[in-house]
Amino acid sequence: MSPFYYKTAFETLQELRKSGERNPELVVTLGGKIIYEGYTGKLGDEVWSVYEQVFIAALDYRNDALAETCLERLEKKFPKSPRVKILTGMKLEAEDKLDEALELYDEILKNDDSNIATIKRRIAVFKAKGQDQRAIEALTHYLDAFYNDAETWLELSSLYLNYHLYQQAGFCLEELILLQPQNHLYHLKYAEILYTNDNITNINLALKEFCRVLELCEDHVRALYGVKLCTSRLLNLSSSSSIDFKTISDLNSLASERLSKVYSLYSKNKVGNSNNELRQIIHDWLNESDKSY
């Protein structure tokens, strides 16, 4: 049997913990080996984080025995810790005992109502139960206090989008832009929400936002398509827009030009018929849309 390189295993697990990547299969394999073959002694103080990590991965992977083992050892070491209670709650969630999990979380919050992890788990339970309304309420309540939590704003916006509440989703994206103004992805998402929520002001705004993405990230293909769609929409609507006709058509031709550049460069790098087909389709579409003016 080949020796188990536990040092590399420890490092891999540490890397995964740092990056937050969710790779349950790898973690369960490595973690199971470490725990069942007794390498935990070599970890020192890190062992408790590893237990937590392996526990969550085991829940993902439905390896209940491994999860039980980890939870037992954690409970023995930290008997009254809220963090371990949350893990117990997660196990209840995995076993579909959602109401019990909710009770557990509420109990933790009674003692310490600013425990972020508990609040987030509670929201997850509401989502799992399908009680999106309560989830949205809980999210808003949390964000009222912790306004700078970007991933939570994204979560709230995706919930709103599920219910086609475009204006509210746009609000969330504006908050995100306030948090990270140079992040072109937030501008992109905002622009797409605006375009979907179709009225004349929004399309104008969407056009500006797509231009912003292009300013921040040159030749962003999704944004180029966005510019094309917005400009064609504005030209078709032909009602008074705040931007003059010449600018709109200039932007339109600029977008077409950049798109054809990008795709010609793209197909230069790759070989094969499928890419030529793609290029052809794009060219046809671009020519079609240009012809209509």
Cβ-based nearer residue to other proteins, 63 or 118? 118
Smallest separation (angstroms) from other proteins to the CB of 243: 6
Interacting positions 62-101 with other proteins (CB under 8 A): none
Burial 62-85 (b: 16+ CB within 10 A, else e): ebeebbebbbebbeeeeeeebebb
Instruction: Tell me the window of 28-36, 68-76, 153-161, 244-252 that interacts with other proteins (CB under 8 A).
Output: 244-252
> Longest Cα pair distance anywhere in the chain, in angstroms?
76
Smallest separation (angstroms) from other proteins to the CB of 38: 31
The verdict on 45 binding other proteins (CB under 8 A) reads: no
Q: Using CB under 8 A, pick the residue from 11, 68, 107, 113 that binds other proteins.
A: 113
Q: Using CB under 8 A, pick the residue from 150, 177, 217, 235 that binds other proteins.
A: 177
Cβ-based nearer residue to other proteins, 12 or 183? 183
Residues of this chain that bind other proteins (CB under 8 A): 112-115, 144-148, 171, 174, 177-182, 205, 207-209, 211-212, 214-215, 243, 247, 250-251, 254, 258, 261
